C-alpha cells in the first residue's frame, strides 16, 4: 500500500485537486448557471496562493484560504456583474473571464512571473491537509443535496419563474453559486500550485474548462458524487491508457463521446435512474392513478 | 365598482399591462372578497393570464394598482409575493422532475417561516388533493390530471390567503374537472380565497361566487356568475357579433 502510495502520490493529490476543480464548475451548473468561471478562479487561487507563499512565507492552510477567499471575492463581483446574463451569453462571458485570467498571467510581471511563471512554492502541504479541505467542500455539497436546500436548488435550476413564485430569491442563489465556485476553484488552484511547487500561464488555460466539464458530464452534473466519479475517472484514465501509446487521446475522446450518447445524466444519473425505476416497479400502482389512466397521454408533454 | 360583499382582500384598480403597442390588459378594475371564489372568463388573448402574471409581479404594470390586504403588490419583488400570502398554479404543469410528489409539495410548504409545521401542511395538502397514495412517486410516473393536482397541492401547502389558479382543469376529463371543482369548494369552505382563470363556463358557474368577464384586455362586466354569462357583451365575445346579436334577440 505504501509502495503504491509513494509511486502514485502526485496522481492521488491531482485526483483530489481535480474533485475541487470539477465542483467549481458543477456548483453553478446545479443552479442552472452556465458559468465556466471555475477555471479562472482556479488560476486566481493558484497565483494568489503562490504569491502569499513566496512573499509572505505563509504555510499551506493559510495560503489555501487566501487563494480561495480571493477567488470567491472575484466570484462575488462577477456574479453581480453577470446577473442579468443567461445561457450561452453567460457561458461566453465566463469563458472571456477565463481568457482574461490567462492574459493577466502572461503580462502580470513579477506577480505572475510572466510567461515563465512562478517557481519554488514550497509549503508544508500534505495529503491529510488536502483531504480535509476537499472533505469540507464535499460535506457542504452533501448538505446542499438534502432537504430544503436541495428542493430550492432544484427549483432555481429547473424553473426560475416557479422558484420565484415559491418565495425563492433566484438572483441571490445565482450569486452564491459564483462565490462557492470561487471558493472551490480558488482552493483547487492554490493546492495545485503547492503540490507542483510551480505555476505558469499554460496551467490556467481553457483546457481546464474542458477537463472539468468532461469530469462532470461523464460523472454526473447534478451531484458531488458525479464530480468525484468524473475526477477519479479522468485523472486515472490516462494512467490506465498508457498501454495504447499514441492512441490514448483517441480512446479518451471515444470514452467521452460514448458517455455523452449513452449516459446523458452521467454515471451518477445512471445509478439514480436505475434505482428510481426499480423502486417504481416495486411500488403497487396507486388506485387513484388507475382511475386517471384514460387521460390522453399527449397532454402530459 | 363591484357587487362583491365582505372585505375586499384584493383590489384591482385600473390595471393596464402594455407590451409595446399591444394592450394585453387595459384598465381593468374589480375587487375580490375574502373567502370567495372569483373567476375570470374570456376568449383566448383576452388578458386573463397576463393579469395573473401582473398579480405575481412576473410582468410590470403600465398603469394602475394592485392592492392585496392593504399592500401595494408592485412595491414587492416577485419572490416576496409568496411570503405575503399569494400562491399560484401555472397554465402548464410545472413540477420538478427529480423531486417526488411529497418533495414538490414540500417546496410550497417551505415558504412559511413556520418550519416545524411544514410536514403537517404537506400531509394535509396531500390528503386534501387525494395524493397521499402517490406521495413517493415522481411526476413523470403520474397521469396529467394527477400532476395538475400536485401543482394545486403545492400551492395549498404554502398556506396562502389568496390562491391564483390559471386554467387548473386544462386537459382534464369531466370526472377530474368535477373533482377539482369539489376541491376548490372545500378549500373555500376552509376560508381560502381563490381567483380562477378558466375556459369552462359551466365549471365557472358551478364553482364561482363572482365572475369577471374580459375581452381584448378590457372588462366586459363582473358580478353574479349567472348574470355575467347572460350579459350580451360576454356572448358576443365568445360567439362573435352575429351570434351575440342573435342571443340578444
Contacting B residues, span 111-140, partner chain A, CB-CB under 8 Å: 111, 130-131, 133-134, 136-138
Alpha helices in A108-247, H assignment, sequence order = 127-144, 147-158, 160-165, 170-196, 207-219, 224-240
pLDDT per residue as tens digits for the range A90-105:
999 999 999 999 999 9
User: Quick one: average pLDDT of B24-52?
Assistant: 91
pLDDT higher for A296 or B60? B60
Q: Interior CA angle at B218 toward B50 and B84, to 5°?
A: 40
Give chain B's mean pLDDT. 88
Cβ-based contacts under 8 A for chains A and B: 100
Question: H or E segment at A104?
Answer: helix A87-107
Angle between helices A248-262 and A207-219 (to 10 degrees): 50
Q: For position B194, what pLDDT does the model report?
A: 95
How far apart are the C-alpha atoms of A208 and A98, rounded to whole Å? Answer: 10
- Whether the pLDDT of residue A22 is over 70: the answer is yes
Contact A168 B80 (CB under 8 A): no
Q: Which chain B residues are Cβ-neighbours of A288 within 8 angstroms?
A: 130-131, 133-134, 146
Q: For position A141, what pLDDT does the model report?
A: 97
User: Quick one: average pLDDT of B237-249?
Assistant: 58
**Residue A51 three-state SS:** helix
Burial A166-177 (b: 16+ CB within 10 A, else e): bbbbbbebbbbb
Contact B134 A286 (CB under 8 A): yes
- Please tell me what DSSP assigns to residue A283: S
Q: Which chain B residues are Cβ-neighbours of A279 within 8 angstroms?
A: 136
Q: For position A192, what pLDDT does the model report?
A: 96
Contact A162 B111 (CB under 8 A): no
Contacts 24+ apart (CB under 8 A), B201-207: B201/B41, B201/B229, B201/B238, B203/B169, B203/B177, B204/B39, B204/B41, B204/B229, B205/B229, B206/B181, B207/B37, B207/B39, B207/B181
- Whether the pLDDT of residue B1 is over 70: the answer is no
Q: For position A301, what pLDDT does the model report?
A: 34
Cα A186 off chain centre by: 11
DSSP line for chain B: -----S-EEEEEEEEEEEETTEEEEEEEEEEEETT-EEEEE--TTSSHHHHHHHHTTSS--SEEEEEETTEEGGGS-HHHHGGGTEEE--SS----TTS-HHHHHHHHHTTSS-STTHHHHHHHHHHHTT-GGGTTS-GGGS-HHHHHHHHHHHHHHT--SEEEEESTTTT--HHHHHHHHHHHHHHHHTT-EEEEE-S-HHHHHHH-SEEEEEETTEEEEEESHHHHHH-HHHHHHHH-HHHHHHHH-
Winning range, highest mean pLDDT, from A5-9, B91-95, B166-170: B91-95
Percent of chain A with pLDDT over 70: 94
Rg (CA), chain A: 21
Percent of chain A with pLDDT over 90: 70
Instruction: With cut-offs at 50, 70 and 90, classify the pLDDT of residue A295.
Output: very low
Instruction: With cut-offs at 50, 70 and 90, classify the pLDDT of residue A62.
Output: very high
Q: Which chain B residues are Cβ-neighbours of A162 within 8 angstroms?
A: 90, 94, 96
Using an 8 Å Cβ cutoff, are B128 and B156 in contact?
yes
pLDDT per residue as tens digits for the range B134-159:
999 999 999 888 999 999 999 999 99
pLDDT per residue as tens digits for the range A49-61:
999 999 999 999 9
Q: For position B246, what pLDDT does the model report?
A: 53
- Whether the pLDDT of residue A165 is over 60: the answer is yes
- Whether the pLDDT of residue A294 is over 70: the answer is no
Q: What is the ipTM of this complex?
A: 0.87
B113, closest residue in chain A (CA to CA): A167
Using an 8 Å Cβ cutoff, are B155 and B179 in contact?
no
Question: What is the pTM (predicted TM-score) of this model?
Answer: 0.87
Q: For position A241, what pLDDT does the model report?
A: 81
Q: Which chain A residues are Cβ-neighbours of B93 within 8 angstroms?
A: 300
**In the block, residue with C-alpha cell 375581452:** B215
User: Quick one: average pLDDT of A92-120?
Assistant: 94
Using an 8 Å Cβ cutoff, are A214 and A234 in contact?
yes
Query: Which grid coordinates are listed for B23?
Result: 394592450
**In the block, residue with C-alpha cell 382582500:** B9
Show the domains of chain B with their CATH numbers: 1-85+160-222 (3.40.50.300), 95-159 (no CATH)
Query: Is the torsion defined by CA of B8, B14, B17, B23 positive or negative?
Result: positive
Max CA separation in chain A (angstroms): 74
Mean pLDDT lowest among A230-234, A289-293, B94-98: A289-293
Amino acid at each position: 500500500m505504501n509502495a503504491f502510495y509513494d509511486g502514485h502520490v502526485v496522481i492521488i493529490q491531482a485526483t483530489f485537486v481535480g474533485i475541487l476543480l470539477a465542483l467549481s464548475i458543477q456548483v453553478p451548473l446545479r443552479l442552472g448557471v452556465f458559468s465556466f468561471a471555475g477555471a479562472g478562479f482556479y488560476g486566481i487561487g493558484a497565483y494568489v496562493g503562490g504569491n502569499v507563499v513566496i512573499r509572505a512565507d505563509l504555510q499551506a492552510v493559510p495560503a489555501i484560504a487566501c487563494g480561495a477567499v480571493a477567488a470567491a471575492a472575484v466570484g462575488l463581483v462577477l456574479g453581480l456583474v453577470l446577473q442579468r446574463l443567461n445561457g450561452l451569453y453567460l457561458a461566453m462571458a465566463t469563458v472571456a473571464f477565463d481568457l482574461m485570467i490567462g492574459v493577466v498571467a502572461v503580462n502580470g510581471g513579477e506577480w505572475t512571473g510572466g510567461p515563465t511563471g512562478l517557481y519554488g512554492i514550497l509549503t508544508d502541504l500534505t495529503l491529510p491537509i488536502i483531504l480535509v479541505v476537499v472533505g469540507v467542500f464535499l460535506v457542504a455539497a452533501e448538505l446542499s443535496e438534502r432537504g430544503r436546500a436541495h428542493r430550492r436548488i432544484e427549483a432555481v435550476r429547473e424553473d426560475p419563474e416557479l422558484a420565484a413564485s415559491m418565495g425563492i430569491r433566484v438572483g441571490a442563489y445565482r450569486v452564491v453559486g459564483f462565490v462557492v465556485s470561487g471558493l472551490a476553484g480558488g482552493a483547487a488552484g492554490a493546492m495545485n500550485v503547492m503540490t507542483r511547487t510551480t505555476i505558469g500561464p499554460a496551467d490556467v488555460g481553457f483546457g481546464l474548462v474542458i477537463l472539468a466539464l468532461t469530469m462532470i458530464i461523464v460523472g454526473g452534473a447534478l451531484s458531488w458524487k458525479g464530480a468525484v466519479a468524473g475526477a477519479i475517472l479522468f485523472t486515472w484514465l490516462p494512467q490506465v491508457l498508457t498501454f495504447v501509446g499514441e492512441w490514448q487521446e483517441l480512446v479518451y475522446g471515444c470514452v467521452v463521446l460514448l458517455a455523452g450518447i449513452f449516459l446523458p445524466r452521467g454515471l451518477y444519473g445512471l445509478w439514480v435512474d436505475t434505482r428510481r425505476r426499480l423502486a417504481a416497479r416495486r411500488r403497487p400502482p396507486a388506485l387513484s392513478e388507475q382511475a386517471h389512466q384514460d387521460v390522453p397521454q399527449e397532454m402530459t408533454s | 365598482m363591484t357587487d362583491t360583499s365582505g372585505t375586499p382582500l384584493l383590489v384591482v384598480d385600473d390595471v393596464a399591462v402594455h407590451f409595446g403597442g399591444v394592450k394585453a390588459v387595459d384598465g381593468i378594475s374589480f375587487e375580490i372578497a375574502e373567502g370567495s371564489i372569483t373567476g375570470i372568463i374570456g376568449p383566448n388573448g383576452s388578458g386573463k393570464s397576463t393579469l395573473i402574471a401582473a398579480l405575481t409581479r412576473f410582468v410590470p404594470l403600465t398603469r394602475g394598482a394592485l392592492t392585496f390586504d392593504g399592500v401595494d403588490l408592485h412595491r414587492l419583488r416577485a419572490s416576496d409575493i409568496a411570503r405575503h400570502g399569494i400562491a399560484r398554479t401555472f397554465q402548464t404543469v410545472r413540477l420538478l422532475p427529480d423531486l417526488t410528489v411529497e418533495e414538490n409539495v414540500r417546496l410550497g410548504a417551505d415558504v412559511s417561516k413556520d418550519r416545524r409545521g411544514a410536514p403537517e401542511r404537506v400531509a394535509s395538502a396531500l390528503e386534501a388533493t387525494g395524493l397521499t397514495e402517490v406521495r413517493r412517486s415522481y411526476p413523470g410516473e403520474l397521469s396529467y390530471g394527477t400532476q395538475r393536482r400536485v401543482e394545486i397541492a403545492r400551492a395549498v401547502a404554502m398556506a396562502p390567503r389568496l390562491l391564483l389558479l390559471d386554467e387548473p382543469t386544462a386537459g382534464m376529463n369531466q370526472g377530474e374537472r368535477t373533482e377539482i371543482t369539489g376541491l376548490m369548494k372545500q378549500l373555500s369552505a376552509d376560508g381560502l380565497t381563490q381567483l380562477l382563470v378558466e375556459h369552462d363556463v359551466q365549471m365557472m358557474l358551478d364553482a364561482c361566487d363572482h365572475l369577471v368577464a374580459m375581452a381584448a384586455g378590457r372588462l366586459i362586466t363582473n358580478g353574479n356568475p349567472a348574470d355575467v354569462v347572460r350579459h350580451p357583451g360576454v356572448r358576443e365575445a365568445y360567439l362573435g357579433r352575429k351570434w351575440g346579436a342573435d342571443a340578444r334577440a
